[in-house]
Structure 1
Amino acid sequence: MAPRSPEARRENEDGQRPLLDRELNHLPPEARWREWMSRVEATIFAASEPVTRGVLARIVGKNCSIDLLIDDIREELRGRPYDLISVAGGWKHLTRPAYADAIRGAFGTTVGGDEKAGDLSQSEVLVLTAIAYFQPITRAELSSFFGKEISRDLIGVLRGAGMIASGPRAPQPGAPYTYVTTKDFLLAFGLDTLRDLPDFEALEDAGLLSKEKLLAGDIPAGLTGGEGDGDGEEEAEDGIVEDQLS
């Protein structure tokens, strides 16, 4: 444990709860860096969600490079069965893919961000792919894209899995809701931001993805009807796309 700074000792003697000493100026540089590394790793380890840069900035010195701290922590984790991953706008400890079978053997399922995504059917993944690339997009636009109606039930499955949410109202008659992906989507697919999605045009040029391939998927006919996407929908989550891009 690092020795307490004089400021922290004085605050403790006065009976006040000591403030966190972020700068650690009483420590030599190497010990100071090591303490910052430990704080960052402990905070990320304790969190259930990815920890953002802003949160980590509260526990280290104002001139400390968080990126360099993360690099040094990741270097120490080489050879370990888990890593520190940049995902969904923050950092999170995740087990390495090579150990997915062992985890599945122990618990009957993987434990991590891809669990919800793994429960989706091919049809649901195809619709989720279209939403990810063309968001914000309405259900009617999805139905037009696939040439068959995308049911509210299918949209409900994606919402229930936390993969999508209501976006802004579309500038169309009836002002239907659009749909956008969520931070849970980024976490499930190991993306830091939406900018990490593979370039759609590059995938098309490489013959790996195309509208025709999406349309060839087995999308079931809609079970509920037509227009009025907005009926009964929840309010849009303002700024959700911007959050995923930042």
Structure 2
Amino acid sequence: MGGATKTARGEKKMARGEMPGHDMPLDRELEDLSPALRWREWMLRVEAVLFAAAEPVSREILGRVVGKDCSVELLIDDLQEELRDRPYELVSVAGGWQHRSRSAYAPAIRAAAAPTRSATETLSDGEAMLLMAIAYYQPVTRGDLSKIFGKEVSRDTVASLRDAGFIVSGPRSPTPGAPYTYVTTKHFLSTFGLETLRDLPDLEALEDAGLLRRGEARPGAISDPAAEMEDDGRALAD
């Protein structure tokens, strides 16, 4: 009888939006709730965290708001099913999940000209080309980048990509002087909708699509980009 009363009390609090209390430690297990309501509350918590987050959220972080035996992947599956007919969705990107508007509604969002929560930094053509070269040939030094483009790469351009959170310093190069290399970040993956560096489009495909001139950003002295990207760990955390 007591157990049934506790469950009914918990369900009433849930219906009033009072689960859990703001001044109490988060109850992850929610044992006072029926299995159906417990699962529903976990789904809502996960969705709330994803909605509020500025960057993709990992499974480990989402695990902090649900029961220890709860499957975050199954929660995400149910949330994705619920959002099937909505203009936004949950996507797997950069080692986590993120709320994103569906691409079909991009024209409407642009036409509205309203500030967005995840506005992408505007890159100049030069910055975009440099970022692409770093992404494909990382870890790469500024000297290597200069060889790729056939001209000196500006320190200011590299600094602008670093300030935007797209790149960080990587391991030192084994070449004379041991200069620092540059690698992309998880913010880079998130901004461009990539799960890992393996999701980068093939250079030949970019050329075939007319998005890259033949031979442009192809180095003469840099090793094969497929080998350079073999270790996805080179996309470092911000």
- Per the normalisation by structure 2, the TM-score is 0.74
| 1:182-210 C-alpha deviation (Å, 9 max, x unpaired) | 1221121011222322355x748x94588
Show the counterpart of 1:214.
216
Sort the Cα spacing of 1:108 and 1:22 in 2 relative to 1 into closer, same or farther, 3 A. Answer: closer
- How many residue pairs get aligned? The number is 206
Q: Which residue among 194, 198, 206 is the counterpart of 1:195? A: 198
Residue type at the aligned position of 1:143: S
**Which residue of 1 is the match for residue 63 of structure 2?**
57
**Distance in 2 between residues matched to 1:135 and 1:29, nearest whole Å:** 48
Question: CA offset at residue 64 of structure 1?
Answer: 1.3
Contact 1:53–1:90 (CA under 8 A) maintained in structure 2: yes
Partner residue in 2 for 1:234? none
Change in 2 beyond 3 A, CA 1:171/1:184: same
CA RMSD of aligned residues (A): 3.0
Corresponding residue to 1:29 among 31, 35, 42? 35
Pairs within 5 Å for 1:80-119:
80-107=86-113, 111=116, 113=118, 115-116=120-121, 119=122
Q: Which residue, out of 72, 76, 79, partners 1:73?
A: 79
Do the aligned partners of 1:113 and 1:190 also contact (CA within 8 Å) in 2? Answer: no
Structure 1 contact 114–189 (Cα < 8 Å) conserved: no
Question: In the superposition, relative to structure 1, how do residues 240 and 183 fare at CA in structure 2: closer, same or farther (>3 Å)?
Answer: same
- Measure, in 2, the Cα distance between the counterparts of 1:27 and 1:4: 6
Equivalence for 1:241: 234
Provide the rounded CA distance (Å) in 1 between the counterparts of 2:171 and 2:98: 29
Kept in 2: contact 1:82–1:94 (CA 8 A): yes
- State the shift of 1:240 in Å: 7.3
Asked whether 1:172 is paired with 2:175, we answer: yes
Question: How far apart are residue 148 of structure 1 and its match?
Answer: 2.1
Match of 2:127 among 124, 127, 130: 124
Query: Is structure 2 residue 16 aligned with structure 1 residue 48?
Result: no
Identity of aligned residues (%): 56
Aligned residue type for 2:35: P
How many Å separate the matches in 2 of 1:165 and 1:138? 12
* Residues 149/33 of structure 1: CA separation in 2 closer, same or farther (3 Å cut): same
User: Please, which of 125, 142, 145 is the counterpart of residue 142 of structure 1?
Assistant: 145
Q: Does 1:157 align with 2:160?
A: yes
SS in 2 for 1:49: coil
Q: Measure the CA separation in 2 of the matches of 1:40 and 1:215.
A: 41
For residue 176 of structure 1, report the CA deviation from its aligned partner: 1.0
* Residues 38 and 207 of structure 1, relative CA distance in 2, 3 Å threshold: same
Describe the SS at the equivalent of 1:19: coil
Instruction: Report if the CA contact (8 A) 2:88-2:101 is conserved.
Output: yes
Give the distance between the partners of 1:96 and 1:35, measured in 2 at CA.
25
CA drift of 1:130 comes to 1.3
The answer to whether the 8 Å contact 1:167/1:179 transfers is yes
